[in-house]
Structure 1
């Protein structure tokens, strides 16, 4: 496939910026190490990390140019890529969960169903803040996309919480999902056959008869759950209904962020 002129131009500009940034970083790194070698303390020594940090910042700074030129159209894709979701707490009704083996994208472009995951659904969910982190590489440089909404998510939070985000028909597919604090379940059957678990009147996708499920014991409102300090290593997040996200913010930062 022939590259368009705008795409070629954006790629060339990005390559030039990265090359210039790397030269500047190397020069500064050498100066800092030379100064450190004379035994004189000059405050915080950034020399050892400059070579990695400056090119990353240059690449992230060039992201806007690349987007405008369409350079990310083929490479900017988080489908089937793990991402981290955290919240100070989640409470929900109409809750259900199953274990399944969804199709997961491999590095060679194929898909496999060898990875066991938990699929969780809420017909009604309330979250106390939301932090989503996706790690990506662009032109060989690592950066992170941070999605935040609602109150600030405190790292390590496990105490009481006050929800400020509303969601309907929210689904998560995760390899690891848990809470840092107490979890409360009500009106719940643990060990229900996966094909018998339903959320908002529908079975969870990927459910197989006999597979593990966590569903409602019946009655008004179905099963309910409250988790203090949600942490999920997710592969998919789906909003089949609606979600109110106060103060939604999406930003890109250099490096591999671990918190918002």
Structure 2
């Protein structure tokens, strides 16, 4: 559905967090190192707490997104909690991007059904990039190569101002950049919202078995 150059591949599990609402304050969002944090921040692509907060309860399963590249303008990121119907809270990197283009986008969700596993697969942007505005993503993991322009790391989350509505709790650890570019993106997320999303060359299919994007 993005809240320095990073060439190392980054893969990280979300830290444990007590159950709580999305507004739960995080002073210490444990991400391995600045490069890892920055990469995870990257996308998020996308869930504005103020403008387009994912106020809905997330499902019990995360899903995967991949893209050959993502180019976003106006980016912020901070730690947050995504909550499911049963009240379970999951630590996420909440990232917001004002405008974004994604090339060769793939989204997949693996389902366990009475007849066995099945995978929802959505593809778009193979020839014309997917275009999104006011994107917000609850990121659990992200891998890829990232480049940022005018990046600020360690800024108070409540003062973030480079993405519309992308502010977090006072005292929270935040980062932001004027522009973000991510190549070979592979991301696991719990929720994505967008003010608008244009999916050129859309393809949607339900495939028996496991056929995830990566």
TM-score, length basis structure 2: 0.67
- The 2-side partners of 1:168 and 1:94 are apart by 10
Alpha-carbon distance in 1 for matches of 2:183, 2:154: 23
Structure 1's 111 and 140: CA in aligned 2 closer, same or farther, altered over 3 A?
farther
> Which protein is bigger by CA-based radius of gyration?
1
Instruction: Describe the superposition over 1:71-127 as per-residue Cα deviations: whole angstroms up to 9, x where unpaired.
Output: xxxxxx973520000000101111111111222x2xxx51123x3210111101011
Aligned partner (choices 157, 160, 183) of residue 194 of structure 1:
157
Q: Is 2:212 the counterpart of 1:212? A: no
User: Which aligned runs of 4 or more in structure 1 are off by greater than 3 angstroms?
Assistant: none
Structure-2 separation of matches of 1:258 and 1:244: 22
Q: Is the 8 A contact 2:96 2:166 kept in 1?
A: no
Residues 1:166 and 2:131 aligned together? yes
C-alpha displacement of 1:197: 2.0
1:165-184 correspondence runs (5 A): 165-179=130-144, 182-184=145-147
Deviation at 1:192, TM superposition (A): 1.1
Matched residue, 1:26: none
TM-score (norm 1): 0.56
Q: Deviations over 1:39-63 (max 9, x none)?
A: xxxxxxxxxxxxxxxxxxxxxxxxx
Equivalent of 1:112, from 63, 88, 98? 88
Cα distance, 1:210 vs. partner?
2.0
Unaligned runs of 5+ in 2: 1-56
Q: CA deviation at 1:200?
A: 4.1
The answer on 1:87 being equivalent to 2:67 is yes
RMSD: 2.2
User: What is the aligned partner in structure 2 of residue 258 from structure 1?
Assistant: 212
Q: Which has the higher helix share?
A: 1
Greater percentage in strand: 2
Does the Cα contact within 8 Å between 2:64 and 2:213 map onto a contact in 1? no
After TM superposition, list the pairs within 5 Å mapping 1:12-51 onto structure 2: none
3-state SS, counterpart of residue 158 of structure 2: helix
User: Residue 59 of structure 1 corresponds to which residue in structure 2?
Assistant: none
* Larger RCO (CA within 8 A; separation ≥ 6): 2
Secondary structure in 2 matching 1:94: strand
- Where do 5+ consecutive residues of structure 1 fail to align? 1-76, 153-162, 217-222
